[in-house]
Structure 1
């Protein structure tokens, strides 16, 4: 169940981060509210994840996937397309998350 909660935490954090951009410095109430609710949900579900998944693994997956998803969605919504070095860097982050989950004995606990 921990990885399902992690997926919810990641999606909540991504929504909150995208809403943070749209909130225009918390001057737009609707997007500010989505931002706050999203971050509260993200941390709540992350706290549930940490009952069964090691904190280092959970945080690495959460942060890594959040970076990839926010960058990809920002490219579509905000037209903030990452350049080649940024894409390579994010690919390396994704590869690191994959290596941890596929080969680390820590991730299996």
Structure 2
């Protein structure tokens, strides 16, 4: 199960790198940043699809999109000197609350061994 959450972590990190490099590509006019964004988005898609083999969809997608949004916004402030409004800060707080709620609801499902279920399903085919 751990390796699927590692893959989810890789998907989150590569999504953030891809989004930052997408901004730096200046509308795909900077080739190196364009290439980097496409490459890491492909890694992100593979990692996310790998994680979703076992991690429940609601948890995987919620963590990926929520953590990616919050961390990208934080890096936007640090790297590009953007500012947050009160509404943006509250919105990001709600996203963090949603991620926490998804993880709490997913704890009950962790008792199920999804990895062995995937193996059993493959054998039935």
Shorter-chain TM-score bucket reads over 0.9
1:77 aligned to which of 64, 76, 79 = 79
| Structure (1 or 2) with the larger CA radius of gyration | 2
Q: Contact conserved, 2:59 with 2:106, CA < 8 A, in 1?
A: no
Normalised by the size of structure 2, how large is the TM-score?
0.82
**Runs ≥4 in structure 1, deviation > 4 angstroms?**
none
Could you list the per-position Cα deviations for residues 5-64 of structure 1 after superposition, in whole angstroms to 9, with x for gaps in the alignment? Answer: 100000000000000000000000110011001100100000110111111211111000
| Structure 1: gaps of 5 or more residues | none
CA displacement at 1:107 relative to structure 2: 5.2
Q: Contact conserved, 2:58 with 2:102, CA < 8 A, in 1?
A: no
The structure whose residues are more often helix, as a share, is 2
Corresponding residue for residue 20 of structure 1 = 22
- Looking at structure 1, the residues matched to 89 and 95 of structure 2 have their Cα atoms a distance apart, in angstroms, of 10
| Cα RMSD after superposing both structures | 1.4
Count residues with an aligned counterpart: 109
Corresponding residue for residue 89 of structure 2 = 87
- Looking at structure 2, the residues matched to 34 and 7 of structure 1 have their Cα atoms a distance apart, in angstroms, of 19
CA displacement at 1:103 relative to structure 2: 3.3
